[in-house]
Amino acid sequence: MDQTTEVFRPLQADDPAAVAGYRPAARLGAGGMGRVYLSHTRGGRPVALKVVRPELADDPDFRRRFRREVTAARRVRGAYTAELIDADPDGSPPWLATVYVPGPSLADAVARRGPLPVAAVLWLMAGVAEALQAIHAEGVVHRDLKPSNVLLAADGPRVIDFGIALAADGTSYTATGSTIGTPAFMAPEQATGGEVTAATDVFALGQTAAFAALGRPLYGEGPGVNVLYRIVHSEPDLSLLPEPLRPLFAWC
């Protein structure tokens, strides 16, 4: 569920008045799993409240996966992650609350201001790599790292929605219809339905950073099936990237 933190959207008639004591104050965004709201804890701490879509909530397999991933995500602590602070995978509807990060997503920042300079891309890669290290240390694989899941706070990037993507795997509500992820940022083994490991997230880190440097996906744009074919069957053209970044991207 992508979180957009720079623009608050007004609540609509079909938005909940409250979820387990959390009162939505504004919409932050939406995604395949549900809607994201700005809310607050009872002590006034701002949170991103993510509420699962009814179609998914009615799926017992989804609830089982969601419960497992929430349990794992609770253990993740890191300076560059948006910490999970509360959740109820058995609620009606299921929901979770993470630390609210005041800042735009990388996707929004690039759309509005264009590609990042080399120094900023290196800063971004270092922060996201540290976030992935904390995530992987708890046995969690993100599976859907992409520019809209990286928020740009004043003190560094924050990775959101780690571990939660797996809960939607195997349902009809995934980004590609059968495989969890976003085509332009998926690793070859993910695109072909192979084993997903921490290396999958490292590949996505490279693609996300390339997007930051170029203002577009490294493997190009177009229909998802075409992008996935290029990822699986071709090598990226690293000459498109600024020269200082090429060795890092070759590693990713």
Name the amino acid, one letter, at 163.
G
CA distance 230 to 10: 40
Cis peptide leading into residue 93 (ω within 30°): yes
Query: Does an H or E element contain 157, and which?
Result: strand 156-159
Query: Which is it for the CA torsion 117, 31, 49, 66, positive or negative?
Result: negative
156-159 and 150-153 beta bridge pairing: antiparallel
DSSP state, residue 19? B
Give the active site residues: 144
Q: Which of 177, 155, 162, 147 has its CA nearest to residue 50?
A: 162
CA distance 75 to 45: 20
Q: Per the structure block, which two tokens stand in for 244?
A: 């200082």
Q: Do residues 38 and 73 touch, judged by C-beta distance below 8 A?
A: no
CA distance 78 to 158: 9
**Distance from CA of residue 29 to its chain's centroid?**
12
Q: Can you spell out the DSSP letters for 87-127?
A: EETTSSS-EEEEE---S-BHHHHHHHH-SPPHHHHHHHHHH
